[in-house]
Amino acid sequence: MQINRKKVLVLALYAGEIMLMNGAETYRVEDTIIRLCKSRGFSYVEVYVTPTGFFVSVDTKGEEQNGILSYTKRIKSRGINLNKVAQVNDFSRKFVESNMSVEEGMKILKEIHDLLPYPHYVHALFGGLASAFFGLLFGANLLEFFSAFFTSILVTYTLKVLTSIEFSPFLTHISGGVVAATMAILLSSLHPLIATDKVIIGAIMVMVPGVAITNAVRDSIAGDLVSGLARATEALIIATSIAFGIGFILKLWTFITGGTLL
């Protein structure tokens, strides 16, 4: 069966793009592209991936490498959707182990790419639950548990709305910190048994860059030092943004009231 190598390359690049846009490690993206290409007869495949784009060079004519084709893709929008990453991984294994056509593969990848995310209210509800239980781990009482729950719902919804309109990630997390601190102060002023720190700690857990930190470590261990440093920098910027938003509101409140927080 004659295989159009350029179509195979486009399929492999599409798979890598979906993975990188949804939080996959760079070494996993590289491995997926290489495996997809070599499963259809490419003898030369070189892939270099960073968190914001990738570069691919392949031979399109055979062992002589007299038909080198290079491709560059810039990734402007990134998020976390590990369901899509897992589905592309599953597709990659099936494509490599079978005689699946390129057209069928592209159709499957298009379906994965077009998967709708969970509705905002689902993210908000389960983000609230996760944060509330984190609050318990840090010693929150029942009132602080529910305070963290409702605060985190508002924080999660704020993040989703700002992300959907492609707001700056830095300003998005500052806004999340502002919402968390504001709600914590208001709730603690309503009842003396609600501690501001416990509510804030619980509420910000939905913003903590855990995946970015994990990917930074895994990329560094895999030898991708540039990608690891980039991921670590991203995590540091997110953490700084959250701290800035919270610190600004706490400082503003103490300046206005001239007192201390509970």
pLDDT by residue for the chain (262 residues), tens only, comes to: 456 778 888 999 999 999 999 988 888 999 999 999 988 888 888 999 988 888 998 876 655 555 788 888 888 888 888 899 999 999 999 999 988 899 999 999 999 999 888 887 888 889 899 999 998 888 889 999 999 999 999 999 888 888 888 788 889 999 999 999 999 999 988 888 888 889 999 999 988 888 888 888 888 888 888 888 988 998 999 999 999 999 999 999 888 887 666 5
Q: Which of 113, 128, 143 is the last residue of a domain?
A: 113
Q: Tokens at residue 61, please?
A: 């004519």
Q: How many domains does the chain have?
A: 2
Separation between Cα atoms, residue 249 and residue 182, nearest integer Å: 7
- For helices 196-203 and 169-190, the axis angle rounded to 10 degrees is 150
Q: Which of 56, 84, 113 is the last residue of a domain?
A: 113
DSSP string, 187-216: HHHH-TT--HHHHHHHHGGGTS-HHHHHHH
Of 93, 253, 130, 239, give the one whose Cα is nearest residue 183.
253
User: What SS3 class is residue 43?
Assistant: coil
Q: How many CB atoms lie within 10 A of CB 37?
A: 23
**Together in a domain, 34 and 141:** no
**Together in a domain, 82 and 154:** no
**Together in a domain, 94 and 188:** no
CB distance 237 to 170 below 8 Å = yes
β-strand pairing of 68-74 with 53-59: antiparallel
Instruction: Quote the pTM value.
Output: 0.79
**Given this model, what pLDDT does residue 63 score?**
52
**Given this model, what pLDDT does residue 1 score?**
46
Contacts by 156-159 with C-beta closer than 8 Å and gap 24+? 156/123, 156/124, 156/127, 156/128, 156/206, 157/120, 157/123, 157/124, 159/206, 159/207
**Given this model, what pLDDT does residue 66 score?**
59
**Together in a domain, 128 and 218:** yes
**Together in a domain, 134 and 218:** yes
- For helices 26-38 and 82-97, the axis angle rounded to 10 degrees is 20
**Together in a domain, 74 and 198:** no
**Given this model, what pLDDT does residue 260 score?**
63
203 within a domain of the structure (yes/no): yes
Domain enclosing residue 28, as ranges: 5-113
CB distance 34 to 56 below 8 Å = no
Q: How many CB atoms lie within 10 A of CB 82?
A: 11
Of 112, 46, 50, give the one whose Cα is nearest residue 78.
50
**Given this model, what pLDDT does residue 64 score?**
54
**Together in a domain, 103 and 124:** no
Of 191, 193, 188, give the one whose Cα is nearest residue 250.
188
DSSP string, 99-118: ---HHHHHHHHHHHHTPPPP
Q: Tokens at residue 238, please?
A: 């997110």
CB distance 156 to 123 below 8 Å = yes
262 within a domain of the structure (yes/no): no
